[in-house]
Amino acid sequence: MAGTSTAAQRAAATTTKWVYLFEEGSASMRALLGGKGAGCAEMTRAGLPVPPGFTITTEACNAYYTSDKRFPDGMWEQALDALRVIEQKTGKRLGDASNLLLVSVRSGAQFSMPGMMDTVLNLGLNDETVVGLARLTQNERFAQDAYRRFIQMYGRIVMGIEGRAFEDELDKAKERHSAAADTDLAADALQDVVKTFKQVVRRETGSDFPTDPMKQLELAIGAVFSSWMGERAVVYRDANKIPHNLGTAVNVQTMVFGNMGDDSGTGVAFTRNPETGERALYGDFLINAQGEDVVAGIRTPMPITELERILPAVYKEFTEITSRLERTYRDVQDVEFTVERGKLFMLQTRTGQRSGFAAVRIASDMVDEGLVTPDEAVQRVQPDHVVQLLMSRFNPAAKETAIREGRLLTTGISASPGAAVGRAVFDADRADELGTAGEKVVLVRPETSPDDVHGMIPAQGVLTSRGGKTSHASVVARGMGKPAVVGAETIVVDLKARAMRVGDRVINEDEIISIDGATGEVFVGEIPTIPPPPIEEQAELLRVLEWADERRRLQVWANADNPGDAQKARELGAQGVGLCRTEHMFMEEERLPVVQQMILAAPKANRLRVDTERLKKEMVEAHQAKRTELEAQLRDIEEQMAPARADYEEALGKLLPMQREDFKGILRAMEGLPVVIRLLDPPLHEFLPRHEDLLLEVAELRRTAPESSELAEKADLLTAVEAMREANPMLGLRGCRLGLMYPGINEMQVRAIMEAACALKREGVDARPEIMIPLIGHVNELNRVRGQLEQTAKKVMAEQSIQVDYKFGTMIEVPRAALTAGEIAETAEFFSFGTNDLTQMTFAFSRDDAEGKFLKRYTEEKILPANPFETVDRIGVGRLIRIAVEEGRQRKPDLEIGVCGEHGGDPASIEFFNEVGLDYVSCSPPGVPVARLAAAQAQLAGAYSTK
Ligand code: ADP
Ligand code: MG
Ligand code: MG
């Protein structure tokens, strides 16, 4: 607030250095001077030709906000002092028509950021100085044109006037003078336009266009500061996780003119090809042009190499400068430059963005050139680069054409990268049918559930109108390495009509669509894709990954449910399987009936077991008469329940060999490496038809076929499903509780695992199963289950007379388990953090509900800093993990600890897992190379930090 700062504060402010001449700064002062300011400073220090200028610091911007949008004390005076220095150096003066200095005002934060104020060029023009410009350029028309452009640019950018208001007037002027284009307007016509533009400013803002160059400068600096909190800038920072308290710097710099004739021009260049990484200058140049004309695409620029022919001396100097910049920054630079009458000026240098291909090639080349160390090379490649290198993508030109043709339907959330093309299909069965027959399809659903998985497997990709990055569709698609776009909310999926609508556009079943899982774009029609080269052919990527492997401490395992996935994961560098989910094997179509038979019989068979055990116990204690009575009862029960028991045992008997083959396949694929197999985990009703569907079917059959055996069967099923219904299935009968209630299922699974391992061992295959018991909350649960299963395991080895190495362990996914990890570690030989459930239970969020209903708002409104299902919540969930690691290892120092939740593939979470000392992370097979890199980066970052 005005006038509230104390004398002490004012004194402190006046002594603060708010303004740095370019020669006073350096590359290392990026936080204070912003990227652009630090770049100009570094180039100036290196003696490169940079038009003189100064930078107002990011601290000044922050002070501007804390003092009610006024410049901090002393800042303006320092800026004027700096301006004096520049005037001396150039021998020109701002506002002096006879010796004209013009400046540009350029915003520049620590991280390059669209959404902030555009650069204002030619600041300092007014009715008097425009005469000076005409003299300087010997071109009256050019001067008037620059002046009207300045008012237009300044009016829009600094004064916030709608661009349309100026364009309309320009159009009218063109009409009046029968001019086809701006360039057809003569000097006097432009002078009229300048007058009208000033009227526009008065009309729109109620005040005159500032003719005083000092006033122009002051307002422009304020506008740059204000743009830091502009809506677009704030949204961009939110999306890119850039803090809001960094502030932006302001650069004020002497103008140089690229539009002074054919020995002038402006251009942008990369020191290496940003697409391929090739070591060759890459960029564009425009003769006789100013500012962003190159980027604006008004005229077609020439390739930078042409400069050698046109201005050979400039080209030579330029190439010397760029290679020097590369050596200084030891990275690819993206530079902006201007040539004024044959003299080269450098205006900007920054680290060049690059594609995945370029990133690995550049990293590899620069190690060979001695520019960077392998440590740095590993840190230079981003996890996203690696993702890009292993996924198919759309032909960029074809995609651009599609956008131009209006074929971009909508943009949803990019859930799983890669490009997919196929016929739109709206149900999983049809996707399965067509897909298995070799047709290319894209499965389109409002959202997906386990019922849709069989349709996702043969599909090219998945598109849903609802859900977020951790919805079922996203998680499953990522696991499969399949492209997916989710949450495309403008799409209305009409399952009945087998069509989807976006506005009034209708896409019917079988029409071709293309989806880009890396960007979230959805197109009508086919866009040709480019498949990724196989990893073994990507020499530079392999080289970078090898360096990463040498530097990481964390192992990388993969979640794989079948031999194919395990094999793929192994090829990509997985060092084990961290999670093999047996329920996925149960979902397969020909097995489901057997699984259902088992589930329906299980409760009865179980009751039989419980009742008979009770009776037997009572008999031991009973006297003779009572005992006979009990014996009769026992016989009765046994007779009654015999069919259910037979059913149950028959079903388990059928499942045993199937599971044995599953496990054999996966253990064989991972020969010599650990495979963690989780015993059955989900609530059983997930394998049964839905209650609502059954209810309808039974009602229908009662009407149409009351006597049918089908009705009897369905009614039985309905009764069973009803008996199994739970108010809260995720907290109901699942995980180890299932095994405690129905030990037969677990015993069958352990038998299958051990028989598979023994058989392999006999063949000479080193199988290393690790049996994982899910959802433990109390150590007694684990003791009981493990007790039962240990017997089974020993029995199998005795039967086969062969010993195999195996382990029993547990998931840590219930908060109570984490809190009592010491006790649990006594029985468990390994821990695996199930961070999905652990996050759900720690937050008391049901993930599916949270993501559909409120989580988006939560993160948008910053109630939560990020989606905790994507990046592990270090403070809360992370605390539980720390406790469990510490107390588990205290009790059992060689306890093997990993993570198998989705977070295992997330680079930010990997950093945390490395920090807390896990042994491995386990992620989806396609995520393995990314995790290898991320684990190395975490280790390297840790080595440098002081934590
Ligand atoms: P951006 O952040 O959008 O790159 P810049 O501040 O770099 O914005 O300005 C954009 C362009 O304006 C520059 O590439 C350059 O061509 C031109 N420009 C900026 N300052 C000057 C100057 N002092 N002299 C000549 N051209 C300039
Ligand atoms: Mg720039
Ligand atoms: Mg779980």
Are the C-beta atoms of residues 595 and 655 closer than 8 Å to each other?
A: yes
Residue 370 has pLDDT above 70, yes or no: yes
Residue 533 exposure: Cα atoms within 13 Å on the Cβ side: 10
Q: Residue 675: pLDDT band by 50, 70, 90 thresholds?
A: very high
What is the whole-number distance in angstroms between the Cα of residue 133 and the centre of ligand 3?
72
Q: Residue 118: pLDDT band by 50, 70, 90 thresholds?
A: confident
CB of 119 closer than 6 angstroms to any ligand 1 atom: yes
Predicted local distance difference test score (pLDDT) of residue 873: 97
Q: Given the residues 61, 580, 900, 923, select the one marked as catalytic.
A: 900
Residue 3 has pLDDT above 50, yes or no: no
Predicted local distance difference test score (pLDDT) of residue 14: 64
What is the whole-number distance in angstroms between the Cα of residue 154 and the centre of ligand 2?
18
**Percent of the chain beyond pLDDT 70?**
97
- Ligand having the closest approach to the CA of 682: 3
Q: Closest ligand 1 atom, CA of 266?
A: 16
Predicted local distance difference test score (pLDDT) of residue 138: 86
What is the whole-number distance in angstroms between the Cα of residue 555 and the centre of ligand 1?
47
Q: Give pLDDT tens digits for 475-497.
A: 788 777 789 999 898 999 999 99
Residue 535 has pLDDT above 70, yes or no: yes
- Ligand having the closest approach to the CA of 838: 3
Helix axes 539-551, 356-368, angle to 10 degrees: 70
Indicate the range of 94-103, 632-641, 767-776 predicted with least confidence: 632-641
CB of 51 closer than 6 angstroms to any ligand 1 atom: yes
Residue 469 has pLDDT above 80, yes or no: no
CB of 253 closer than 6 angstroms to any ligand 1 atom: yes
Are the C-beta atoms of residues 411 and 519 closer than 8 Å to each other?
A: yes
Predicted local distance difference test score (pLDDT) of residue 818: 98
Q: Given the residues 40, 61, 385, 472, select the one marked as catalytic.
A: 472
What is the whole-number distance in angstroms between the Cα of residue 561 and the centre of ligand 3?
15
Q: Which residues contact 284 (CB under 8 A, 6 or more apart)?
A: 267, 268, 269, 294, 301, 302, 303, 304
Q: Residue 355: pLDDT band by 50, 70, 90 thresholds?
A: confident
Residue 292 has pLDDT above 70, yes or no: no
Q: Residue 98: pLDDT band by 50, 70, 90 thresholds?
A: very high
Q: Residue 235: pLDDT band by 50, 70, 90 thresholds?
A: confident
Distance CA 868, CA 908 (A): 11
CB of 349 closer than 6 angstroms to any ligand 1 atom: no
The more confident residue out of 232 and 39 is 39
Q: Closest ligand 1 atom, CA of 251?
A: 6
Predicted TM-score (pTM) of this structure:
0.83
What is the whole-number distance in angstroms between the Cα of residue 603 and the centre of ligand 3?
23
- Ligand having the closest approach to the CA of 268: 1
* Nearest residue by C-alpha to atom 11 in ligand 1: 291
Sheet strand arrangement including 505-508: 491-494, 499-502, 505-508
Please choose from 86, 120, 121 the residue to mutate so as to test ligand 1's pocket, defined by most ligand atoms within 8 A of CB: 121
Residue 2 has pLDDT above 50, yes or no: no
Ion ligand 3 contact residues with beta carbon within 5 A:
813, 834, 837
Q: Respond yes or no: is residue 472 known to be catalytic.
A: yes
Residue 275 has pLDDT above 90, yes or no: no
Q: Residue 84: pLDDT band by 50, 70, 90 thresholds?
A: very high
CB of 250 closer than 6 angstroms to any ligand 1 atom: no
Residue 155 has pLDDT above 70, yes or no: yes
- Ligand having the closest approach to the CA of 121: 1
Q: Respond yes or no: is residue 736 known to be catalytic.
A: no
β-sheet bridge partners, residue 462: 443, 484
CB of 347 closer than 6 angstroms to any ligand 1 atom: yes
Q: Give pLDDT tens digits for 12-28.
A: 666 899 999 999 999 99
CB of 157 closer than 6 angstroms to any ligand 1 atom: no
The more confident residue out of 732 and 453 is 732
CB of 104 closer than 6 angstroms to any ligand 1 atom: yes
Predicted local distance difference test score (pLDDT) of residue 566: 96
Best CA proximity match to 169, nearest among 199, 145, 146: 199
- Range picked from 344-348, 408-412, 709-713, 942-946 for highest mean pLDDT: 344-348
Are the C-beta atoms of residues 475 and 399 closer than 8 Å to each other?
A: no
Are the C-beta atoms of residues 272 and 280 closer than 8 Å to each other?
A: yes
| Cα radius of gyration rounded to whole Å, the chain | 35
Token pair belonging to 869: 């299902």
Q: Closest ligand 1 atom, CA of 254?
A: 23
Residue 409 has pLDDT above 80, yes or no: yes
Please choose from 217, 255, 293, 348 the residue to mutate so as to test ligand 1's pocket, defined by most ligand atoms within 8 A of CB: 348
What is the whole-number distance in angstroms between the Cα of residue 251 and the centre of ligand 1?
10
Predicted local distance difference test score (pLDDT) of residue 4: 53
- Ligand having the closest approach to the CA of 258: 1
pLDDT mean over 867-881: 96
* Nearest residue by C-alpha to atom 26 in ligand 1: 291
CB of 121 closer than 6 angstroms to any ligand 1 atom: yes
pLDDT mean over 457-461: 92
Distance CA 53, CA 252 (A): 5
Predicted local distance difference test score (pLDDT) of residue 401: 93
* Nearest residue by C-alpha to atom 22 in ligand 1: 255
Q: Closest ligand 1 atom, CA of 108?
A: 2
CB of 185 closer than 6 angstroms to any ligand 1 atom: no
Indicate the range of 309-323, 446-460, 769-783 predicted with least confidence: 446-460
Predicted local distance difference test score (pLDDT) of residue 9: 65
Residue 787 has pLDDT above 90, yes or no: yes
Are the C-beta atoms of residues 925 and 905 closer than 8 Å to each other?
A: no
Are the C-beta atoms of residues 558 and 655 closer than 8 Å to each other?
A: no
Query: Tokens 């002081």 map to which residue?
Result: 946
Q: Give pLDDT tens digits for 714-724.
A: 998 898 899 88
CA dist list (Å): 617 to 124, 610, 632 = 101, 11, 15
Token pair belonging to 275: 């697409």
Q: Residue 460: pLDDT band by 50, 70, 90 thresholds?
A: very high
CB of 255 closer than 6 angstroms to any ligand 1 atom: yes
* Nearest residue by C-alpha to atom 9 in ligand 1: 119
On average, the pLDDT of the chain sits at 92
Residue 294 has pLDDT above 70, yes or no: no
pLDDT mean over 571-593: 90
Q: Closest ligand 1 atom, CA of 257?
A: 25
CB of 340 closer than 6 angstroms to any ligand 1 atom: no
The length of the chain in residues reads 947
Residue 646 has pLDDT above 60, yes or no: yes
Please choose from 287, 338, 350, 351 the residue to mutate so as to test ligand 1's pocket, defined by most ligand atoms within 8 A of CB: 338
CB of 414 closer than 6 angstroms to any ligand 1 atom: no
Predicted local distance difference test score (pLDDT) of residue 233: 87
Distance CA 285, CA 370 (A): 31
Strands 512-516 and 521-524, bridge-based pairing: antiparallel
Please choose from 105, 260, 292, 298 the residue to mutate so as to test ligand 1's pocket, defined by most ligand atoms within 8 A of CB: 292
Predicted local distance difference test score (pLDDT) of residue 852: 75
pLDDT mean over 672-688: 94
